[in-house]
Chains A and B, each alone.
Chain A
């Protein structure tokens, strides 16, 4: 009896610490809401649909920041997804065994490099490169809104490129894991039917589809919240524009740049409200992504748990 009460104590004692983790997530939501009440009360939904950002007159609208965050993240996703999936497929399906581990390690290394180092590299290497690219863009192309704007170097294109590089390791490592979890019977069946390598891989991808979508969304969540590297290369100018060359602004960047300058309370609350929305969006994206990855893994785990031997026979 003493044993079982000791075990209960252990379970409860460690459970308290586990509950703390839950509490932190809830605490962030509560605290951010509490600290943005002024701006929520004053602007309501108008905050999300207007573009004035005037700390002097106390008028705040966050549309350009939301636009910049979504636009840069989607562009980054468009660049990063094919590359990340290609890497995942190469490492898990095509690469010779000896190369597998080193390649996985090298691509994971991209995730370990601090954001500030990406930013530094962005400012001194990538931005001058983008500027050159913008200068040699032919005039005919510049009539398209996508390529309009002065050749500054800093701007949407530089931000999207750097975000893409930062997102690749996250998407590719989860996608790799998913492909590893696809039962090899799937591929073998495809080969047995005379499939080529690509066709067999297509079957494996089809099997892991939900998990792979989850991997892409995980990358999206990363891109939405990335702060420092983007702040350093996007140009920090609030405008809603489809141009790749124009400087723009993101939600995370405006918080990073203006938080310590926010002298009055309304200004601060407006910035924290942007943080609240960023929190809600990233948590939403992450939740969907995790659920997709889990549902995929559960589907794979299920046949392992069901005994191969029928229950009656196993008992006999």
Chain B
């Protein structure tokens, strides 16, 4: 082996080690974050956390019942319009994948996905809060819905494309119209995957804080009124994290733990669903 080759091989080896090192470096913050969330959060999570209201400043104990319900209400509003809009848009993109219109819409969905969530929050503020001059659960839900749409669009499109072509051909051969074939055969085949995709999108927007700060605002009290400000897990964690009270810090960690667990569970479910669809595709 010439000296030159030895040098090249050594360099190659060094490069491989550096790449492996990059993986290790990225896994350090991940394990640290998960470790702290579990260590600080799991201990603080108790029955009161789910069932009690926040206590006034200075009193310890209490929970985040209103914030948990608030988050559920907010993501329900979001899903109510983001799922039909995003889903049907995804159907269109999957059915007419290479028209100019589809390319433009796909591009717009990708761009919308990259728009900072705080900017989407301002949009919802202008659309819902400003005309009636009041922060509301509705405004927060609208903001989250806009953030959810591009995710639903792309997952629906991708999953529909995984459905074997034979199913479509079979339906069309039996005389079904395009709409019948899509909504009667193709969409149902991909439905488990699409549903978990939607759940993942919901988990993603449930973790959003920035767009809620000036749409849904926050609320220390129990409220299910859509036209009033409402509490949410994320904004509550944000407020508590910046407070000087140890008890509130503990509750903030508990809230973070709840959010992370929810997202972990849903993303595992999504993996399973996608893998099942892929298996269906194999001959």
Give the B-binding residues of A (Cβ under 8 A). Answer: 3, 6-7, 9-11, 13-15, 17-22, 24-25, 27-28, 31-32, 34-35, 82-87, 89-91, 94, 103, 105-107, 109-110, 112-121, 123-125, 165, 168, 172, 196-199, 201, 218, 221-222, 224-228, 232, 252, 255-256, 259-260, 272, 275, 278-279, 282-283, 285-287, 289-290
Q: Given A35-B122, A114-B263, decide whether A278 and B116 contact each other with a Cβ distance below 8 A.
A: yes
Q: Are A14 and B114 in contact (CB under 8 A)?
A: no
Q: Are A120 and B8 in contact (CB under 8 A)?
A: no
Of the candidates B16, B33, B91, B96, the one whose C-beta lies within 8 Å of that of A118 is B33
Give the distance in Å from the alpha carbon of A113 to the alpha carbon of B102 in the complex. 31
Q: Is B213 an interface residue (CB 8 A)?
A: yes
Question: Per-position contact with A for B148-178: 1 when CB-CB < 8 Å, else 0?
Answer: 0110010000000000000000000000011
Scoring A10, A94, A118, A282 by chain B CB atoms within 10 A of each residue's CB, the highest score goes to A10
Q: Are B30 and A252 in contact (CB under 8 A)?
A: no
Of the candidates A17, A90, A103, the one whose C-beta lies within 8 Å of that of B89 is A17
Of the candidates A14, A83, A87, A224, the one whose C-beta lies within 8 Å of that of B91 is A14
Question: Per-position contact with A for B233-245: 1 when CB-CB < 8 Å, else 0?
Answer: 0100110011000
Q: Is B45 an interface residue (CB 8 A)?
A: no
Q: Are A106 and B105 in contact (CB under 8 A)?
A: no
Q: Are B238 and A116 in contact (CB under 8 A)?
A: yes
Of the candidates B105, B177, B259, the one whose C-beta lies within 8 Å of that of A6 is B177
Q: Is B84 an interface residue (CB 8 A)?
A: yes
- A-B pairs with lowest CB-CB distance, top 4: A225-B116, A86-B22, A114-B207, A286-B114
Give the distance in Å from the alpha carbon of A257 to the alpha carbon of B6 in the complex. 58
Give the distance in Å from the alpha carbon of A32 to the alpha carbon of B124 in the complex. 10
Residue of A nearest to B253 (CB): A120
Residues of B within 8 Å of A, CB-based: how many?
A: 87
Q: Is B195 an interface residue (CB 8 A)?
A: no
What residues of A have a CB within 8 angstroms of the CB of B204 in the complex?
A: 112
Q: Are A198 and B85 in contact (CB under 8 A)?
A: no
Could you give 17 example pairs across A and B, Cβ below 8 Å? A11-B95, A21-B153, A24-B146, A24-B149, A31-B126, A32-B122, A86-B18, A86-B21, A89-B19, A110-B26, A121-B32, A124-B249, A196-B12, A227-B117, A275-B119, A282-B116, A283-B114
Give the distance in Å from the alpha carbon of A90 to the alpha carbon of B22 in the complex. 8
Q: Is B110 an interface residue (CB 8 A)?
A: yes
Give the distance in Å from the alpha carbon of A118 to the alpha carbon of B259 in the complex. 12
Give the distance in Å from the alpha carbon of A10 to the alpha carbon of B183 in the complex. 11
Q: Are A286 and B91 in contact (CB under 8 A)?
A: no
Q: Are A21 and B112 in contact (CB under 8 A)?
A: yes
Q: Are B260 and A21 in contact (CB under 8 A)?
A: no
Give the distance in Å from the alpha carbon of A70 to the alpha carbon of B217 in the complex. 28
Q: Is B115 an interface residue (CB 8 A)?
A: yes
What residues of A have a CB within 8 angstroms of the CB of B11 in the complex?
A: 196, 198
Q: Are A90 and B19 in contact (CB under 8 A)?
A: yes
Q: Are B238 and A228 in contact (CB under 8 A)?
A: yes
Residue of B nearest to A224 (CB): B116
What residues of B have a CB within 8 angstroms of the CB of A35 in the complex?
A: 122, 126, 130
Instruction: Give min CB distance, B86 to chain A, whole Å.
Output: 8
Instruction: Give min CB distance, B108 to chain A, whole Å.
Output: 5
What residues of A have a CB within 8 angstroms of the CB of B234 in the complex?
A: 114, 116
Q: Are A90 and B23 in contact (CB under 8 A)?
A: yes
Q: Are A83 and B22 in contact (CB under 8 A)?
A: yes
Q: Are B259 and A83 in contact (CB under 8 A)?
A: no
Of the candidates A21, A172, A221, the one whose C-beta lies within 8 Å of that of B149 is A21
Question: Per-position contact with A for B19-51: 1 when CB-CB < 8 Å, else 0?
Answer: 111110111011011001100100000000000
Give the distance in Å from the alpha carbon of A221 to the alpha carbon of B116 in the complex. 8
Q: Is B93 an interface residue (CB 8 A)?
A: yes
Instruction: Give min CB distance, B263 to chain A, whole Å.
Output: 5
Q: Is B273 an interface residue (CB 8 A)?
A: no
What residues of A have a CB within 8 angstroms of the CB of B149 in the complex?
A: 21, 24
What residues of B have a CB within 8 angstroms of the CB of A228 in the complex?
A: 209-210, 238
What residues of B have a CB within 8 angstroms of the CB of A116 in the complex?
A: 207, 209, 234, 237-238, 241, 256, 259
Instruction: Give min CB distance, A182 to chain B, whole Å.
Output: 16
Of the candidates A84, A117, A168, the one whose C-beta lies within 8 Å of that of B256 is A117
What residues of B have a CB within 8 angstroms of the CB of A201 in the complex?
A: 15
What residues of B have a CB within 8 angstroms of the CB of A18 in the complex?
A: 88-89, 92-93, 101-102, 105
Besides the contacts A19-B105, A94-B19, A106-B30, what 10 more A-B pairs have beta carbons closer than 8 Å? Answer: A27-B127, A31-B127, A84-B22, A87-B23, A112-B203, A114-B259, A125-B36, A198-B12, A228-B210, A252-B118
